[in-house]
Amino acid sequence: MSDHLIAVLPGDGTGKEVAIEAQRILDTIQQHTNHGFEQTVIQCGGQHYLDTGEEWAEGSFDFCRDEADAIFMGAIGQPGARLPNGDLAGGSVILGMRSGLDLYANVRPIRLYEGVPHKVHGRFTNIWDPDLVDMVILRENTEGLYHSLLHRSAQRAKGLEGYEPPSIEFPGLQGEIAYDPRPISSHGSERLIQMGFDIAETRNGAPIDNVNRVSCIDKSNVTRGCQLFRRSYDKIADKYPHIVRDYGYIDAFTQWLTRTPEHYDVVVTSNMFGDIATDLASVLQGGMGMAASGNIGDNHAFFEPVHGSAPKHAGLNKVNPIASINSIQMMLDWLARRSNDDDLLHVSKLIDQSVAEHLKDGKSLTYDLGGTATCSGVGIAVADRLAAHLKEL
């Protein structure tokens, strides 16, 4: 028996559609188990800003921080929606929470389910055995190249003054100069890397050899921030002698990732590298429609599909809800582990099982997986499977 208060932030574009399917999963669990989910929907995002002049209603950040047990977000991003200072409208929501709630790890599992075709060559193929893609990428989420924007967005979310990085001289440059400092701290790196090793301990290792491995992906041949990140990695790795060390530069990593994904178990990297590498890695799992994520800190977490608002598909009921359903699975796993709730942990595994069965069956897939099913059609089908499993409990 557990009751949880969930903040649901549908956001922009297709975020609204996938949020409905995320909520459907929570409703299904509430209906068939003792686990209750009170859901508070908060409208937000770029379109909300254009309509109301606010990125979200005043008090929303405080609600997410002080009241909600966990947060689900659909997507943020409306073309043309910018704040007067040029920042992304809706940034207070996604970036403000990442920084303001100190959600230092962006955890992005990359797993190819059986039956899911992917499009590495532009055509649907099953060239990989699904057992060859099963890794988790951890992206640092509070510093690096995003730091100024993150901090500015968090200040705004808290109703405080904006932040501008200190001015720096750049010898030899001419004309207008724009720059984003890329601060990397030992504290920020170590806690992220620590979480990576902790996750590695719960897994079965890399698909190729079942070896527990944490790969440090950086550009330490070039940047000082990455040299610090790598030193932080070595320091944490010393505490885990039973986990195999592995190093790669981000440029080389992109080709190994697509060529030999089976080598990877857990990957830790900095903010912008992780942003880019996880979009690339999503292709290995069938595309962005399959990519779930959790923004996780020590006291708070929000969960979101990686795909963004996909404005061109908005309102058409066509995008894949599985990234959102799997984000809810991650949320319940997180809530269950925090409260030592084995029953809720089991329920979260049943979500994964229902998704896996649905995909293996392959009859109801959205366009991105080569099918013609609707977003709600897939959401209802997965929820029905889940309900059937829950009834057996």
Using the minimum distance from each CB to ligand IPM, give the nearer residue, 150 or 386.
150
Binds ligand IPM by CB under 6 A, chosen from 74, 77, 287, 377: 77
Establish if 306 lies at the interface with ligand IPM (CB under 6 A): yes
State the Cα–Cα distance between residues 392 and 72, nearest whole angstrom.
27
Closest chain position to ligand IPM (CB): 275
Neighbours of 387 (CB within 10 A): 15
Phi, psi at 134, each rounded to 5°: -160, 90
Using the minimum distance from each CB to Mg ion, give the nearer residue, 218 or 275.
275
Establish if 109 lies at the interface with ligand IPM (CB under 6 A): no
For residue 308, the partner it binds in ligand IPM, Mg ion, none, with Cβ less than 5 to 8 A by kind, is ligand IPM
Contact between 189 and 203 (Cβ < 8 Å): no
Using the minimum distance from each CB to ligand IPM, give the nearer residue, 70 or 288.
288
Minimum distance from residue 309 beta carbon to Mg ion (Å):
12
Using the minimum distance from each CB to ligand IPM, give the nearer residue, 139 or 230.
139
Residue 160 in tokens: 């405080």
Establish if 76 lies at the interface with ligand IPM (CB under 6 A): yes
Question: Footprint of ligand IPM on residues 258-277 (CB under 6 A)?
Answer: 275
Site mask, ligand IPM, residues 307-346, x = CB under 6 A? -x--------------------------------------
- DSSP state letter for 52: H
Using the minimum distance from each CB to ligand IPM, give the nearer residue, 75 or 365.
75
Binds ligand IPM by CB under 6 A, chosen from 6, 18, 71, 94: 94
Q: Which alpha helices (H) appear in the chain, and where do they start and end?
A: 15-32, 46-52, 60-66, 91-100, 147-157, 186-202, 224-237, 250-259, 271-282, 322-338, 342-361, 375-391
Q: How many CA atoms lie within 13 A of 363 on its CB side?
A: 4
Using the minimum distance from each CB to ligand IPM, give the nearer residue, 74 or 77.
77
Establish if 55 lies at the interface with ligand IPM (CB under 6 A): no
Burial of 229 per CB tally in 10 Å (0-12, 13-18, 19+)? buried
Contact between 270 and 226 (Cβ < 8 Å): yes
Interface with ligand IPM by CB under 6 A: which residues? 76-77, 94, 275, 306, 308
